[in-house]
Amino acid sequence: MLRNVLLALAVLALLSCSRQAAPTSTQLSPAATPPANPELVLATTTSTQDSGLLDVLIPMFEKQTGYRVKPIAVGSGQAMAMGERGEADVLLAHAPDSEVKFMAGGHGVDRKLVMHNDFVLVGPGGDPAGIAGLTVAKEAFTKIAGSKSLFVSRGDNSGTDQWEKKLWREAGITAKGQPWYLETGQGMGLTLNVASEKAAYTMTDRGTYLAMRQHLHLDILTEGDKSLLNVYHIIVVNPNKSDRINHAGAQALSAFMVSPGAQQVIGEFGIAKFGQPLFFPDAGKPE
């Protein structure tokens, strides 16, 4: 009897606390005409989140439209897996090969070029593999493998990770499984920390590196290769994936990301703090 009463109380408490959430969530969207379904799940890359770019863009979008975005920072691999299941409404990814497959598989309905930045190879100042100043990524990878210098990989199937794996493949090197090749399975920030502590090489997007530079014992050694371009697309998930998808919201965010206002913010982001932009707006440009 006592148990039943207390169980009932517990259920009531759980219900009441989930009810409390509803009003607070609507208070956050002050737009004049709030959309019917204001909640929007954006699966995004860790690099856009860690650099702070989304902290600027998303409030801007929310203010303009009244949507409330839940940015879930995961690797591009997981972002697309979420899209395939209809667990996210819209994706911001930087893994072009997987994205093309994603679109071909009918998982997305609209894919737009948003911006790019670039990858750089960073490593210890001593540079045991001698890759400093190289401008061809393939050569740098060959030298790292040849000298068996420690290399730390994300190993998390993110956009950066997929790109790095592709460069190893193109250099004709099987890095995976080698004793000098470490995989963290973590985001870029953590991987940079590991590389720094182990005096190892790693490939990173420039933005995350610049944001963390002051704590790292790593220098940019190889940069400027065309094969190191890091391109971001926004993908609207196929609304047929789930009847709970917020398709209108996804389209609104997609349109916002390529709008002149957002593109200007993207181009100026980071200049004040790092003296150089972290991203370059690309909306409307050919691939």
Partner 1 sequence: MDLVWDGIAQAFWLLVRGDRETYQVILRSTQVSGMATVLSVLVGVPLGTLLGLSRFPGRNVLIALVNMGMGLPPVVVGLLVVITLWRSGPLGGLHMLYTPQAMIAAQFVLAFPLVTAFTLASVQQLNPKLRTQILALGASRWQMLLLLLREARLPLLAAVMAGFGAVISEVGASLMVGGNIRGLTNVLTTDIVSATGRGDFARAIALGIILLALVYAASLAITTIQQRTRPS
Q: Which residues bind partner 1 (CB under 8 A)?
A: 1-3, 6-7, 9-10, 13-14, 17-18, 21, 39, 41, 46, 49-50, 55, 70-73, 85-87, 186-190, 192-193, 211-212, 214-216, 242, 244-245
* Distance from the first to the final alpha carbon of the chain: 68
Is 233 or 241 the residue whose CB approaches partner 1 more closely? 241
Q: What is the DSSP letter of 69?
A: E
Provide, rounded to whole angstroms, the least separation between the CB of residue 274 and partner 1. 13
Provide, rounded to whole angstroms, the least separation between the CB of residue 287 and partner 1. 30
Provide, rounded to whole angstroms, the least separation between the CB of residue 155 and partner 1. 15
Provide, rounded to whole angstroms, the least separation between the CB of residue 210 and partner 1. 10
At 2 the three-state DSSP class reads helix
Is 81 or 129 the residue whose CB approaches partner 1 more closely? 81
Give the count of alpha carbons within 13 A of 275, CB side only: 1
Q: What is the DSSP letter of 201?
A: B
Query: CA 209: distance to chain centroid?
Result: 14
Q: Is residue 91 within 8 Å of 261, Cβ to Cβ?
A: no
Which residue reads 């196929």 in tokens?
Answer: 238
Residue 270 vs residues 78, 122, 274: alpha-carbon distances, Å: 27, 20, 6
What is the H or E stretch that residue 145 is in? Answer: helix 137-146
Is 60 or 283 the residue whose CB approaches partner 1 more closely? 60
Provide, rounded to whole angstroms, the least separation between the CB of residue 96 and partner 1. 24
> Across-strand partners of 226?
none
Provide, rounded to whole angstroms, the least separation between the CB of residue 18 and partner 1. 5
Provide, rounded to whole angstroms, the least separation between the CB of residue 191 and partner 1. 9
Give the count of alpha carbons within 13 A of 229, CB side only: 11
Q: Count of CB atoms within 10 A of residue 37's CB?
A: 15
Q: Which amino acid is at 106?
A: G
Is 43 or 134 the residue whose CB approaches partner 1 more closely? 43
Is 3 or 226 the residue whose CB approaches partner 1 more closely? 3
Residues in the chain: 287
Provide, rounded to whole angstroms, the least separation between the CB of residue 8 and partner 1. 10
Q: Is residue 177 within 8 Å of 157, Cβ to Cβ?
A: no
Is 5 or 177 the residue whose CB approaches partner 1 more closely? 5
Q: What are phi and psi of 102, to 5 degrees?
A: -60, -45
Is 50 or 225 the residue whose CB approaches partner 1 more closely? 50
Is 65 or 142 the residue whose CB approaches partner 1 more closely? 65
Cβ neighbourhood burial of 3 (10 Å; 0-12, 13-18, 19+): exposed
